[in-house]
Every structure is written in C-alpha cells, then in structure tokens.
Structure 1
Amino acid sequence: MTDLGDFRAEVRTWCETHVPTDWRANQINASEAEFVAFQKAWFAELHAAGFAVPHWPARWGGGMPVDQQIVLYSELAAHDAPRLVLAFVGIHHAASTLLVAGTEEQRQRHLPAILDGEIWVQGFSEPEAGSDLASLRTTARRLDDTYVVNGQKIWASGGLHADWCLLLARTDPDAPKRRGIAYFLLDMTTPGIEVRPIRNAVGESHFCEIFLDDVVIPAVNLIGAENEGWQVAQATLGAERGMTMLELAERLGNAGFRWLVDACQPIEDALIADRLAQFEIEIAGLRGLCRDLVLRSETGATGAADASVVKLFYSELLQRMTDFGAEIGGLAAHTTLTKPASSGWESGSWMLDFIGSWEWTIPGGASEIQRTIIAERGLGLPREPSAAQ
C-alpha cells in the first residue's frame, strides 16, 4: 500500500507538470467548441494518470482507496486544476446508476465509453417537478419492445453537448407518484428530441430544456424494473454527495478562499479580518464534514440526513463567501462580467460567482427542503403538516 505522504508527493509532482497554468486566461470568453475541446483534453489527461474516476471500482479503471482520493482532490484544488464540467454527470451520476442498477451489458456499453469522452445529461426536473421531483409528468408508453416518450425536461446541465441522457418518465399514471416511474438511458441522437439552451443571469447557457415528442426508447435501455425508477434515481441523486462534495469543499477552501483574502488586501480593518477568520473556521468545518461523510460512506455508516447537512452547509457558505467578495470588491467586483468557462463557483469574479451560487441553494433540493430532511430524518421531529391538512 502506498504511503499517503508518498502519494501526496506523487500527485503534487503530477499537478506541477500537468495542470495548465494559463487555463483561466484561455477559458475566458472561450467559444463553445473551445470549451468542449478543452474539457475533453483535460479529462483525457486525468484519465491517463488514473485520476479521472478514482471512485469507480478497480475493474472499471478506479479502485483508489478513499484516503488517497481525499489527498487527490485536495491537491487538485490546491493547484487550481480546472473542473470536469462536461464529464461530471457521466463519471458520477451515470456511473453510479449503472453500477448499482444497470445490467452487465449496459455497463459494458457505457462505462468504457464514458472514459473515452461520452457526455451525459440528467433528464429529471420538469417545469412543475423540481424539489417535488416525483410529480413529473413526462410519460413513457410501452409499445412492443420499445417505449414511446412524450414530455419536457428543464435545468438539464450540459444538454447541448450530451450524447446520452438519464431520463425519468411516468409509466403508470394511476400508481402512487413514487411507484409509477421508470428510469431510462436515452440516446440523444434519437428522433423527436429538441434541446433548447436557457440563457441564465450571467449570460451562460449551461442549463437547457429538453422536449420529447414521440421519442422511441428500446426496452433494453430500461434501468431496473418498469415502475421502480424512483428507487433507482436515489442512487443517481446520492452521487451528488460524498466525494463530489469533498471536491467542491476543497476548491472553496483553496482557490475560493485565496481569492477572498486577495480581494481584502491590505487587511487593515478588524471587522474584515474577523469575517475572514470566521470563513476559515467554517471552511475547516465543511472539510471535516465532507471527509467524515466520505469515510463513513465506505462502511455504510451514514445517517439519513448526513448528505443534506453537507449540501446545506456548503451551499450557504458558498453564498455567504461570494456575497462578501462582491461587497468587499466594490465597483470592480460588480463590473467584472467574465469568468473562465471551466471554473467553478469560486473563480474570483465575485458578482458572477454570487449569482451562480444560487444554483446550489435552490436546485438539488432547496435549502428549505434540506432543513426539512434534517429535521425529520436526522432529528426525528414530527413531519411538517401538508397544505391539505
């Protein structure tokens, strides 16, 4: 077994020679083609080093011990490595779904393809099914050995570039809403699919709408049983926590905090120094929570609300830090309206980062939803009365 100190030195040396030092400058105002090319090249670089999918089983190119994964993400963040924006859904959500509920044929088809650059999008949310995802209305009607799908998806990150989609659709309209849903793998080249970009508040079009008009999906692309897609979806949603949150926490604590300290220089105001000290304490707490969650996940010892605690803490800390950066940065922070395409929510372009931080306090279960989960599942408090009561 490799000593952790030796492994850290190995990763550090690799980062010093492979992380492009000019990527931020080159990714500002990058075209869509330049962004996609850069993302695929960076993923290939990580894959060649064995760093792209360390959380996958060894059979599929992963198998890195959890303590080494923690070191890896810490060093990548410390060296300001670009984020894997386009590959994110594929290496986390699609992979976890295939490994937990996919057939061997489905795994053989898609896991190697993901390593070769296959891009995935998540087709879950709908205009009237966001935090209450089980209210989705997209339908899938069985026809011989196929399903015919009609409906609309929204907030599909990276949909413009996706090759495949993780799709939830209702197969039994008369069943209780969590029991009549099926989970499909959808080829995005299938006739009847229209992808429309949504221009957001910072001028980006990362989010998309997906319209499905009599889209035919082979029955072999069904994941799990026909009406049990909700259970399968929990494996997908679970991939948003754990190691992905650890990576985000490390990035916030490295680049994000460095940019914040730089923005406050020279630190001559005791109130500013106090705010920075408080942020540093909170970052240390977030890192500790994430590492504890990851380590306990390996043994199945996580609580029902642990992931919600981490998501809530990270998203609201991110929002407070970027808000403070925009405040302390003054006019310059409010008029800097560009950021690197392959960065995260801690790029140092404070106003854009602050606006982008709302992506974390709303999607994936808004902060109010997370607090309800923590109260009911974590603390055992009585369920909140419904509007009907």
Structure 2
Amino acid sequence: MSGLDDFRAEVRAWCRDHIPQDWRASQTGVSDDEFVRFQKEWFAELHSAGYAVPHWPAEWGGGLRTRGAKGPMSVEHQVVLYQELAAHDAPRLVLAFVGIHHAASTLLVAGTDEQRRRHLPAILDGEIWVQGFSEPEAGSDLAALRTTARREGEEFVVSGQKLWASGGLHADWCLLLARTDPEAPKRKGISYFLLDMTSPGIDVRPIRNAVGDSHFCEIFLDDVRIPAANLIGPENEGWQVAQATLGAERGMTMLELAERLGNAGFQWLVQCADVDDPIVADRLAQFEAELTGLRGMCRRIVEDGPSGPADPSVVKLYYSELLQRLTDFGAEIGGPEAHTVVAKPMSSGWESGSWVLDFVGSWEWTIPGGASEIQRTIIAERGLGLPREPSVA
C-alpha cells in the first residue's frame, strides 16, 4: 500500500470508532447549549487525532505532526481526510470554522508573535471566533463600512453595528473591521482588530432565518474599548489584511466544502433519486461532472496557488451556485416528504439531505465572502481584464 492508502485506511478506522452513530438524531432540535457542548467535544476529538487543523503549520499543532511533518498536511492527505469524513457522515466543525480558517490565516499572515501565541493554542482549546465585517449598509460593498474606531492613548474606542455575524452568540473573540480615518479614501482608512466579546458595550442579538435557525447575529458596539495591542497590521491598513481573511474563505476552506459536496452531498442525492429515470440519471451525471471540476479546481489552487487574481472568486462562485442547483434538484425529486421536514441537524453541512431546508439555506452561500454579483465583477475586471464598472457615487 502507498502512503496515501495507509492514511486512508487509518482515517477510515478512526471514523468507524469515533464518529457518533446517532449524532443526526441527537443534534436535531437541540438547545444552543447542547449544540455548543457537542461541537466542542467533536472538535476536541478531531484535534486529539490530528485531524482538526490539517492545514496549519506543524509548529502550531497542524499537519501530520505525529509523523514528524514540518509543515501543513499535504493537499493529497487533506483531500483523503475530507473525503473519508464526508463518506462516513461525520459532523461538521460549524462553530470552530471561523477560528480554524479565518482567524488562523489572519494571525499567521499578519499577526504579531504575541497574538499568535495567545490565540492559536486557544483556538485548539476551543476558543470560538466570529467575523465582524458586514454592516447594514456595507455588505457586498464592504469598504463602505461605518463602524468607527477612534484612538485614545493605547486604546481604540469603537462604535457601530455588525450584521450577519455567524455564531456571534457563542463567540469568545471577533475579527473586526472599523474605520479609523474617516477622511481617507474608503479602502485606506480601515483598521483590523481582535475584539474580546466579553468587553463592556457589546450587545449580540440573534437573527432567526427562513429555516428557523439563529446562527446569524447582529452585533452592536457602544464605545467598546480595544487595546492597541489587538490591532492586526498597521493602523488604517486593515483592508489589505482583510484580503487574507477573505482569501481563506474562498481558498483553503473550499477544499473541505468541495469534498463534502462531492461525497456526502452527492451521495445523499443519489440515495433519494430514481436512477432508472433517464432524466434523473442525466441530471446526476451532469452534477457528477460539475463536482469533479470543482474538486479539481480547489486542489489545484491549494497545491499550486492561484494562477490568476480572480481564481478564488471563480471557485467561490462555482461552489455556491452548484450547491444551490444540487439542493434545488434534491427538493425537486425528494417528493412530499422533503417538503414536510421542519428541522435539520445543527452540526450537519450545507447538504444534510433535508433538501428543502438545504435549498433555502444554500442561498446564504451566494452572499457571504462577497455576493455572486461581486464575484462576477472581480472575475470580469481582474480575471478577464474588462473595463471597470462605472461608479454610482
């Protein structure tokens, strides 16, 4: 057997022994406290096996550290890991997602040594993060944000509102963008902060969505004080730092999500389909071809890096709209039963097999990290070199 074959056999054996067999039933309709408890226990289980943060450097607890690796787990090994976790219907790391991907990538790229020492081990111990980027008037046009941060000695005093903050109700820390120079051009006067969510002046309010979940939140900030030591990167240059965070959302995270969709999601679809129906079989073949393309693109970008400035946007757009079409088809062929399901497991992926709820939820993915319209603009202007859209200002 090759090294990859050995690793696949290892992961399969681990999945059989450690994935809770009843987690879907036990995680449907549970309280927030039970959801948080389960998520933290599952993260600890994955971390103890070396599977929670395979993309991190070994010095911070990532990679195949039990095998003497010096860097992150190879892309080939990560693909095998995500394939097997999906094939064995493992719960997703919903609450840890922002911490292990967005916060970690930001800290590794732009954080100080002290910030990395403080937060990277804490994330592995279960520290939960939320992303405080979008605002009521600054969603797709993130640079239009109005939350302000004025400097007072060795602190910044922050006021404003953040919206669509996934997991904000349970978060310990927040990746926060705020305007520190209101006179500067809008992309030049933004700073990037690490915000302790226990700070006085923070009010987190859950938002109930169309399927009854409340993982979205509003965050209100009223003269919240942030130590200057929690500034990430230089003052007024947070826009550049934020690109590392958004790059993680459109890059490395897509490797896992693509494997989930190509394994668990597609298998759920096949199981509920009448494969003897030629029209259904043709659609399944189309989806399989599209999924193969998505997974190949994600692997190439992670292995070799983007070949063009618009590559991450291509992957994000492709994934989100493929997810939408696949779940829509699941709702179409799922029959009346699919339309009577009123709850899905809270620790499942975007493709849980509760097709109508999955389809409604899939629309979320065409918005965060840059709406599909924004991704198309990036692809047109940066990827194809087309003229910039005229400003409406």
Q: 1:186-225 alignment to 2 at 5 Å?
A: 186-225=195-234
- Does residue 21 of the first structure (1) align with residue 21 of the second (2)? yes
Tell me the residue number matched to 1:370.
375
1:125 shift after superposition: 0.3
Given that 2:272 and 2:333 are in contact with CA atoms closer than 8 Å, whether structure 1 keeps it comes out as yes
Q: 2:181 is matched by which residue type in structure 1? A: D
Q: 1:160 is matched by which residue type in structure 2? A: L
Q: Give the whole-Å Cα distance in 2 for the aligned partners of 1:136 and 1:350.
A: 35
1:268 shift after superposition: 3.3
Q: Give the whole-Å Cα distance in 2 for the aligned partners of 1:81 and 1:359.
A: 22
Given that 2:79 and 2:259 are in contact with CA atoms closer than 8 Å, whether structure 1 keeps it comes out as no
Tell me the residue number matched to 1:348.
353
Tell me the residue number matched to 1:7.
7
Given that 1:171 and 1:226 are in contact with CA atoms closer than 8 Å, whether structure 2 keeps it comes out as yes
Q: 2:28 is matched by which residue type in structure 1? A: I
Given that 1:184 and 1:222 are in contact with CA atoms closer than 8 Å, whether structure 2 keeps it comes out as yes
Q: Give the whole-Å Cα distance in 2 for the aligned partners of 1:212 and 1:384.
A: 34
SS at match of 2:205: strand
Tell me the residue number matched to 2:97.
88
Tell me the residue number matched to 2:336.
331
Tell me the residue number matched to 1:240.
249
Deviations 1:327-371 (A, max 9, x none): 111221111111100001100101100000001112221111111
SS at match of 2:200: coil
Q: 1:366 is matched by which residue type in structure 2? A: A
Tell me the residue number matched to 1:159.
168
Aligned-residue CA RMSD (Å): 1.1
Q: 2:364 is matched by which residue type in structure 1? A: E
Q: How many residues are aligned here?
A: 383
Tell me the residue number matched to 1:56.
56
Q: 2:291 is matched by which residue type in structure 1? A: I
Q: Give the whole-Å Cα distance in 1 for the aligned partners of 2:250 and 2:5.
A: 26
1:274 shift after superposition: 0.9
Q: 1:324 is matched by which residue type in structure 2? A: F
Q: Give the whole-Å Cα distance in 1 for the aligned partners of 2:162 and 2:221.
A: 8
Q: 1:257-268 alignment to 2 at 5 Å?
A: 257-265=266-274, 267-268=275-276
Tell me the residue number matched to 2:34.
34
Within the candidate set 120, 123, 137, 1:128 is matched to: 137
Q: Give the whole-Å Cα distance in 1 for the aligned partners of 2:339 and 2:33.
A: 28
SS at match of 1:51: coil
Q: Give the whole-Å Cα distance in 1 for the aligned partners of 2:280 and 2:7.
A: 37
- Does residue 281 of the first structure (1) align with residue 289 of the second (2)? yes
Q: Give the whole-Å Cα distance in 2 for the aligned partners of 1:385 and 1:141.
A: 32
Worse-superposed segment, 69-78 or 80-89: 69-78
Q: Give the whole-Å Cα distance in 2 for the aligned partners of 1:379 and 1:7.
A: 40
Tell me the residue number matched to 2:65.
none
1:213 shift after superposition: 0.3
SS at match of 1:335: coil
SS at match of 2:249: coil
1:296 shift after superposition: 1.2
Q: Give the whole-Å Cα distance in 2 for the aligned partners of 1:48 and 1:268.
A: 44
Given that 1:77 and 1:247 are in contact with CA atoms closer than 8 Å, whether structure 2 keeps it comes out as no
SS at match of 2:164: coil
1:181 shift after superposition: 0.5
Q: Give the whole-Å Cα distance in 2 for the aligned partners of 1:302 and 1:129.
A: 29
SS at match of 2:339: helix
Deviations 1:60-107 (A, max 9, x none): 011322221121112111111110000001111111111111111111
1:384 shift after superposition: 2.1
Query: How does the TM-score come out when normalised to structure 2?
Result: 0.95
1:308 shift after superposition: 0.8
Given that 2:167 and 2:215 are in contact with CA atoms closer than 8 Å, whether structure 1 keeps it comes out as yes
Within the candidate set 292, 308, 320, 1:303 is matched to: 308
SS at match of 1:152: strand
Q: Give the whole-Å Cα distance in 2 for the aligned partners of 1:384 and 1:351.
A: 36
1:58 shift after superposition: 1.1
Q: Give the whole-Å Cα distance in 2 for the aligned partners of 1:29 and 1:365.
A: 30
SS at match of 1:169: strand
1:385 shift after superposition: 2.4
Deviations 1:9-44 (A, max 9, x none): 111111111111211111111111111010000000
Worse-superposed segment, 55-64 or 38-47: 55-64
SS at match of 1:240: helix
SS at match of 1:216: strand
Deviations 1:306-338 (A, max 9, x none): 111111111111101111111111221111111
Within the candidate set 122, 133, 137, 1:113 is matched to: 122
Q: Give the whole-Å Cα distance in 2 for the aligned partners of 1:335 and 1:264.
A: 18
Worse-superposed segment, 143-152 or 63-72: 63-72
- Does residue 184 of the first structure (1) align with residue 184 of the second (2)? no
Q: Give the whole-Å Cα distance in 2 for the aligned partners of 1:311 and 1:213.
A: 34
Structure 1, unaligned runs of 5 or more: none
- Does residue 79 of the first structure (1) align with residue 88 of the second (2)? yes
